[in-house]
Amino acid sequence: MSAEKGDQAGRGVLLVVAGPTAVGKGTLINALLEQHPEIEWSVSCTTREPRGGEVEGEDYHFVTEAEFERMRRDGELLETAVVHATDRYGTPRKPVEEALAAGRDIVLEIDYQGARSIRAAMPEAVLVFVAPPSIEALKSRLEGRDTESPAEVARRLRTARTEIANLGMFQYVIVNDELEEAIEALESVYRAERLRLRAAPWRRLQERLLAELDSEL
């Protein structure tokens, strides 16, 4: 490893992405992971049933209510939330803490409740809210999935209202209107946060450069 790379390696970046269902969070995250394969994906736990095409251990860890409650009680979850008034979600603590401590970056896709809990537990977390260009566009995306009944669409829109009402707690907002622009915006957030002093052992870099200057002067 070169001196420059060694100086830039530090505590990992924790990128938290939230937003209403069907707003395109997963699409943006997948694009970021393709561009930056060094970023790790945090697989959440959920008590809901798998949707078509979802893979255990890749999309989610699908667990029973009893197992979820045991994990919560034993402190194995970094955060938990109830989404759409029925489904429970949580972020396994160990993989996140180990990745950040080793200097590896990690991205989470969670709701605003989880984002608030993550910020309380890890103030260095970077919170990004993905918003739809309009509610009509969001409704169209929900209906276009053909996975929810009209009643379910209405329930998810009510949840979206609560999520949008909490937008002010986030540090960044990305409007997912033009997909390529939204992907570029998320990558820009990641690149900027990767360069923050808190994400790198800047004192080591500073000391090395000052020592090199002193030898020249």
What's this model's pTM, rounded to 2 decimal places? 0.81
The pLDDT assigned to 30 comes to: 95
Which pLDDT does position 5 carry in this prediction? 42
State how far the Cα of 15 lies from the Cα of 148, in Å rounded to an integer: 29
Task: Identify the pLDDT of residue 199.
Answer: 54
Q: What's the confidence (pLDDT) of residue 216?
A: 87
- The pLDDT tens digits along the chain (217 residues) read 344 444 445 689 999 999 998 999 999 999 999 999 999 999 999 999 898 888 998 889 999 999 999 999 999 999 998 877 788 999 999 999 999 999 899 999 988 988 999 999 899 999 999 999 999 999 998 888 877 788 988 888 998 999 999 999 999 999 999 999 999 999 999 999 988 866 556 777 788 889 988 998 7
pLDDT value at position 113? 87
Distance of alpha carbon 53 from alpha carbon 71, whole angstroms: 26
In SS3 terms, 23-38 reads as CCHHHHHHHHHHHCCC
Tally of CB atoms within 10 A around 162: 12
pLDDT at site 198: 62
Q: What is the pLDDT of residue 81?
A: 84
Q: Map out the domains of the chain with their CATH numbers.
A: 3-42+103-216 (3.40.50.300)
pLDDT score recorded for residue 7: 43
Q: Give the start-end residues of each E strand in the chain.
A: 14-18, 40-41, 44-46, 60-62, 77-83, 87-92, 106-109, 126-131, 172-175
